[in-house]
Amino acid sequence: MKMILRKAGAWLEDRTGVVSAIKPIMNHLVPPGAKWAYVFGSATLFCFMLQIVTGIGLALLYQPSSEAAYQSLRFITDQATFGRVLRGIHFFGASGMVLFVGVHMIRVYIMAAYKYPREMNWITGVLLLFLTIIMGFTGQLLRWDSNGVWSSVVAAQNLGRIPLIGTTMARLLLGGDTIGAQTLSRFFAYHVFLVPALMFAFIGFHLFLVIRNGISEPPKAGQPVDPKTYRKWYEAMLKREGVPFWPDAAWRDAMFGALVVIAIVGLAITIGPPALTQPPDPSIINTTPAPDWYMLPIFALFALVPPKTEPYLIFFGPILAVGALFALPFLSGTGERSPIRRPWAVFGVVCVVVAVGALLLVGEIAPWSPRFDTKPLATVVSYHDPLLERGAILFYKKGCQYCHMVHGEGGIKGPNLSVIGRTWTANQLTVQIVNGGGNMPAYGGSLNNGELHDLVAFLSAQK
């Protein structure tokens, strides 16, 4: 038996040369100091592989048509064996991928590993970052629930605002003027064929470059990169102190990757995938599209900037961001790598991380969106006066409470009205309600006199 196996192995190796191709990759020398900070790239790769496996599993059951998509996802979530876990892994795998791409990028930036000769490692990495974001964005629409669809509507509307090319780009993205059956097929093709194919190609190229240019050595202050001498110096350093990639460096990658996979599966089993909201229905506008967390900073940014500047932001923002990221290795491709000698670079990345974190937080609270899930006041507070009770019911029924908070219930798009009766007279209240203004709709046409009276009486009593 052993003989047969050995013979078969020798035959395969003779005809394919797989082992002799992989051996030098596994044995190649890497700098000795490459420690735990270096595991995030491979952690991203582990997540990606998880996405491929679970993605194929999901695609076996998913039906990419606007009539069937939602139901097939319901089926996957509620009935298919392990379907819920499968969706969960795919969701947390995506989250993990975005997270680790970000951390990997920050690590590379702080250690200035993008400098000579690794400029192209950085550039392919930037492309992979965008492809990852596109995967998240297109995947969300495939859920085909109101959340996913409305998030894409918002994105397409923003895209449509770009001067000159916006409408064409939005049409290209959606496969038509509005979101419909075409959009779903198109996003399915992007998410399952086009973008993964690009990702495979660029990941392959990225890894090839990592091996060809070598893993960057941990930076030392006072040891600047000089293109004239760097490669020679690096070779000599590897000969002197290098350790074989397998197992000396790779065991950390393998161990961290295994932990990541275990964590993702654990989250998928305990928390599970995000619940599907109701099926998309253009006539239901009582919904606040909340994209997945990694999209929130972008949504929050657009919600916060003054509406007039949005077309410029959507046009110049990505161009500036992509431009800056691509230009980085050419602007500072040589010189000091140590973060101690690059305080402004470190300060800059801290600012970016804080800003993105803050946007994520406000995006989570979404003070600019009405809260449609607020509970009717009359069920929370007991009003003994029938007039006040009528007012409280109207306050909810007419939608005031989606934007205004009273006694801790309600939205925060408009001012808190818990003590409005102290400062506003009945007249002022009437004028505000009838005319609206600011970001408040005018209610003159949709309230009769009795309702208006009850509402004003209710608000006047809030002291």
Residues at the site binding ligand HEC, with contacts judged by CB under 6 A: 370, 398-400, 402-404, 413-415, 417, 420, 429, 432-433, 437-441, 443, 455, 459
Give me the least distance between CB of 392 and ligand HEC, in Å please: 11
Place of tokens 């009539």: 67
CA distance 54 to 273: 13
Nearest to ligand HEC of 273, 411 (CB atom): 411
Residue with tokens 């194929």: 56
HSE, side-chain direction, 13 A CA sphere, residue 297: 12
CB of 115 or CB of 371, closer to ligand HEC: 371
Residues 6+ apart with CB under 8 A from 441: none
Q: Which is nearer to ligand HEC, 254 or 440 (CB)?
A: 440
Q: How far is the CB of 421 from ligand HEC (least distance, A)?
A: 10
- Residue whose CB is less far from ligand HEC, 206 or 404: 404
Q: Between residues 10 and 387, which has the closer beta carbon with respect to ligand HEC?
A: 387
Residues 6+ positions from 271 with CB-CB distance below 8 Å: 88, 92
Is 11:225 a contact under the CB 8 Å cutoff?
A: no
Q: How far apart are CA 294 and CA 363, in angstroms?
A: 10
Helical residues (DSSP H) of 271-342, grouped into ranges: 296-304, 310-331
Token readout for 51 is 């996405």
Task: Quickly count: other Cβ atoms within 10 Å of residue 152's Cβ.
Answer: 23
Measured from the CB of residue 299, what is the shortest distance to ligand HEC in angstroms? 18
For ligand HEC, the closer of residues 28 and 413 by Cβ is 413
- CB closest to ligand HEC, residue no: 438
Comparing CA positions, the residue from 150, 429, 106, 405 lying closest to residue 290 is 150
Min CB(360)–ligand HEC separation in Å: 24
DSSP 138-178: HHHHHT-SHHHHHHHHHHHHHHHTSTTTHHHHHHHHHTSSS
Collapsing DSSP to helix, strand or coil, 335 comes out as strand
| Least distance CB 370 / ligand HEC (angstroms) | 5
Which residue, 129 or 420, has its beta carbon nearer to ligand HEC?
Answer: 420
Q: Which is nearer to ligand HEC, 334 or 418 (CB)?
A: 418
The distance of closest approach from Cβ of residue 47 to ligand HEC in the complex, given in angstroms and rounded to an integer, is 39
The pair of structure tokens assigned to 343 is 């305080």
Question: Minimum distance between the CB of residue 114 and ligand HEC, rounded to whole angstroms?
Answer: 45
Shortest distance, position 311 Cβ to ligand HEC, whole Å: 23
